[in-house]
């Protein structure tokens, strides 16, 4: 005997992601899921972003890491609500945030009055691609030190990106790095997403990134009818 | 390593289906459709399935994985093809408006039971 099932196994996660999204959208919060390999510069860019948006947009942060609360401490120094979600123990743990972990994190975060939420995912280009968290947009970061072929080596995370941010551009003079080649590889897997170049260290290109955040917030709200 | 979480979700999904249908017979096979562009890889999923089903409701069952290729369709000219590489440009007209029509599946397709017991 056999039974036909046809059941998506990610549905359990996706249902929780949908309820996270509904809750956040209900509060008028726009959510960005930030993904990259470890050390691509998400936290530094986020810190710079918080400095710039201070007084303009009320921001909250969910910090995902396997271990430690180092990143949450850095973010908390900017006087914004932040919650650290650790996905594992000292010997290693889950390589990604899932919607359930984010749900628990959100329960511990002061959401009143927030307009924008950043979820900084665990640094990982494979596993984070499979899990929806409840975000409005997924942004994939790639630093210039990683080599130009990252997008074709890890196509899913770049294909799924609503925007791609190239970080640490201030280091280009010290590297054998070919920006055109990186763009070529990005376009092979994702021909449409906006690509933003910036350096958190020098501030170069930050205006483009901030403009993207403002525009995205407007677009998401317009679509929701906020 | 997220294949572990994915396989846990797979096992949970199968158990939920069994409960919902009130099926108690021993399970012989679980058939999974796994897209080559799903983000999960067959080998580790099979490994974890064996590990996660040593005891309990699915003990002794076998996971049968059917891998599905990355299928693309051009939104501009309508041509469809199976992509060997995940490159999203139309081979016929060069358009970048390409839709994924297959290869992202992670679905339990069917559950086969031990007939003698059922």
Q: Indicate whether A109 belongs to any domain.
A: yes
**Paired tokens of B94:** 């060069």
Q: Do A5 and B110 touch (CB under 8 A)?
A: yes
Does residue A33 lie within any of the structural domains? yes
Question: Could you read off the pLDDT tens digit of each residue along chain A, which spans 226 residues?
Answer: 899 999 999 998 999 999 999 999 999 999 999 999 999 999 999 999 999 999 999 999 999 988 888 889 999 999 999 999 988 765 556 788 999 999 999 999 999 999 999 999 999 998 899 899 999 999 999 999 999 999 999 999 999 999 999 999 999 999 999 999 999 999 999 999 999 999 999 999 999 999 999 999 999 999 988 7
The interface pTM score, or ipTM, of the predicted complex is 0.85
Here the CATH number for the domain that contains residue A114 is: 3.40.50.300
Domain of residue A133 covers: 12-220
Note whether B2 contacts A8, CB cutoff 8 Å.
no
Does a structural domain hold residue A1? no
Contacts of B86 in chain A (CB under 8 A): 152, 155-156, 159, 189
* Chain A residues within an 8 Å CB radius of B2: 94-96, 126-127, 130-131
Number of domains in chain A: 1
* A189 chain-B contacts, CB cut-off 8 A: 86-88
Closest Cβ–Cβ partner in A3, A8, A127 for B106: A8
The predicted model scores a pTM of 0.91
Q: For domain B3-68+103-113, is the CATH number 3.30.450.20? A: no
Contact B52, B11 (CB under 8 A): yes
């Amino acid at each position: 005997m056999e039974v036909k099932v046809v059941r998506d196994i990610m549905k359990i996660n996706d249902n929780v992601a949908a309820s996270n999204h509904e809750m956040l959208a209900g509060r008028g919060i726009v959510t960005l899921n930030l993904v990259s390999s470890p050390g691509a510069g998400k936290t530094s860019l986020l810190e710079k972003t918080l400095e710039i948006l201070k007084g303009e947009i009320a921001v909250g942060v969910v910090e995902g890491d396997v271990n430690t609360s180092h990143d949450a401490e850095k973010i908390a120094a900017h006087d914004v609500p932040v919650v650290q979600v650790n996905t594992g123990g000292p010997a290693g743990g889950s390589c990604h945030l899932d919607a359930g972990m984010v749900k628990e994190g959100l329960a511990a975060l002061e959401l009143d009055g927030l307009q924008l939420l950043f979820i900084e995912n665990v640094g990982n280009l494979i596993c984070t691609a499979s899990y929806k968290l409840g975000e409005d947009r997924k942004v994939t970061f790639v630093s210039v030190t990683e080599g130009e072929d990252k997008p074709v080596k890890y196509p899913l995370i770049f294909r799924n990106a609503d925007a791609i941010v190239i970080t640490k551009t201030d280091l280009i003079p010290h590297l054998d790095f070919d920006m055109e080649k990186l763009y070529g590889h990005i376009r092979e897997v994702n021909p449409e997403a906006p690509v933003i170049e910036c350096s958190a260290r020098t501030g170069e290109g930050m205006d483009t990134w901030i403009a993207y955040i403002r525009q995205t917030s407007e677009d998401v709200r317009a679509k929701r009818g906020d | 390593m997220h294949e572990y979480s994915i396989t846990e979700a797979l096992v949970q999904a199968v158990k939920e289906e069994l409960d919902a249908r009130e099926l108690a017979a021993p399970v012989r096979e679980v058939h999974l459709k796994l897209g080559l562009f799903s983000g999960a890889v067959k080998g580790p999923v099979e490994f974890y399935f064996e590990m996660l089903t040593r005891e309990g409701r699915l003990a002794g069952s076998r996971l049968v994985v059917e891998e599905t290729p990355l299928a693309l369709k051009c939104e501009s000219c309508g041509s469809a093809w199976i992509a060997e590489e995940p490159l999203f440009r139309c081979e016929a007209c060069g358009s970048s408006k390409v839709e994924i029509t297959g290869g992202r599946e992670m679905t339990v397709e069917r559950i086969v039971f031990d007939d003698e017991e059922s």
